Amino acid sequence: MSVSKELQALQNFNCDHRCVLTVYLNTNPADPEQQNGAWKIQLKNGLKRLDEYLKASKDESEMKAFADLKEKVAAEIEEHQNDLLKGVVIFASENPKLWSVHYVQIPVKTNFYWEDHPVTEQFEYMIKAYPQAGVVLPSFGEVRILDTAMGFVHDEKTYSFDSGLDVWREQKGLNSANQRGTGGSHVDDLDQRLRENLDRFYKDMGTIVENMRKTKGWKELYVVGEADLAKSFAGSLRQKPNNCIYKNLINVEPNKVLHQVFER
């Protein structure tokens, strides 16, 4: 399910009584306030405060429902504590059933809620600031596509370019005299055909990207690459990208690519 569809489902979710635990937890290791795993204390204290509030209300059914969810949420985060990014967002309910977990690579402000609905305001802001987007990195040898939302890469695909030309056979068929006398024209012909084949490859890839834009619900699209290649790929798209970034990041790890796109 896409993030936007999940948000819509969360907004439509409701209980007859309070049954939804919403957790926003800042786990950013670069945050000075999160040194030495401070998020563990914040998680413990946040859940404890809700627990004390419910005990004061003396609602046995709510107390039991919360106790079960509290343990489940704590176990989920503890299980993934070595893989935490900048934040965790969890929406949980036992009856009716709800379990929505997001490990995100963007800032999160720690908050805990126990309500009859998921508290989605911060989640909505995160999606607006870091929307579902496609990031396309065209190069001479391949096209790399990142499917992202909220600063996190959900999927990555790479398509390799086959020039369709046997360069070595072209060169082997020339004797030394021909190479000296007409080598330039052969190279020009080869370069021209190579460029034509690359343009065809980009056109085919443009169709694939347009289909992905629709099926994955991308709100934005970015093209990142050397200027001539990025411009060429952007020209293959029916709808212009939101931005072209003229940097060769084809071999850069995904999170650093997203930093260049969304946090410049």
Q: Which residue has the higher pLDDT, 60 or 185?
A: 60
Nearest CA to 104 out of 154, 135, 150, 73 is that of 150
**Residue 100 banded pLDDT, cuts 50, 70, 90:** very high
pTM: 0.72
Single residue among 66, 101, 129 that ends a domain in this structure? 129
**Is the same domain home to 189 and 115?**
no
CA distances from 124 to 101, 156, 216, 261 (A): 15, 24, 18, 20
Task: Find the CATH number of the domain harbouring 213.
Answer: 3.30.420.60
Whether 134 and 213 have beta carbons less than 8 Å apart is answered as yes
Does residue 161 surpass a pLDDT of 50?
Answer: yes
pLDDT over 90, % of the chain: 62
Tally of domains within the chain:
2
Q: What 3-state class would DSSP assign to 103?
A: strand
Single residue among 129, 162, 182 that ends a domain in this structure? 129
Distance CA 89, CA 202 (A): 38
Q: What is the pLDDT of residues 10-51, one digit of tens each?
A: 999 999 999 999 999 999 988 887 777 799 999 999 999 999
Sequence-distant (≥ 6) Cβ neighbours of residue 258 within 8 angstroms: 105, 135, 146, 148, 151, 152, 153
Backbone angles phi, psi at 117, to 5 degrees: -155, 160
**Is the same domain home to 66 and 163?**
no
**Is the same domain home to 109 and 219?**
no
**Is the same domain home to 75 and 168?**
no
Does residue 176 surpass a pLDDT of 50?
Answer: no
Does residue 169 surpass a pLDDT of 80?
Answer: no
Burial bucket for residue 22 (CB in 10 Å: 0-12, 13-18, 19+): buried
What pLDDT sits at residue 179? Answer: 45
Task: Find the CATH number of the domain harbouring 79.
Answer: 3.30.960.10
**Residue 186 banded pLDDT, cuts 50, 70, 90:** low
Does residue 56 surpass a pLDDT of 50?
Answer: yes
**Residue 180 banded pLDDT, cuts 50, 70, 90:** very low
Single residue among 129, 161, 177 that ends a domain in this structure? 129
Q: What is the mean pLDDT of the segment spanning 174-182? A: 43
What pLDDT sits at residue 153? Answer: 87
**Is the same domain home to 107 and 155?**
no
**Is the same domain home to 83 and 198?**
no
**Is the same domain home to 77 and 92?**
yes
**Is the same domain home to 162 and 227?**
yes
Torsion of CA 78, 131, 206, 260, to 10 degrees: -80
**Is the same domain home to 31 and 144?**
no
Distance CA 244, CA 231 (A): 8
**Is the same domain home to 149 and 241?**
yes
**Is the same domain home to 138 and 256?**
yes
Burial bucket for residue 240 (CB in 10 Å: 0-12, 13-18, 19+): exposed
Nearest CA to 68 out of 20, 120, 116 is that of 20
Distance CA 153, CA 157 (A): 11
213 is in which domain, residue-wise?
133-262
What pLDDT sits at residue 37? Answer: 79
**Is the same domain home to 30 and 17?**
yes
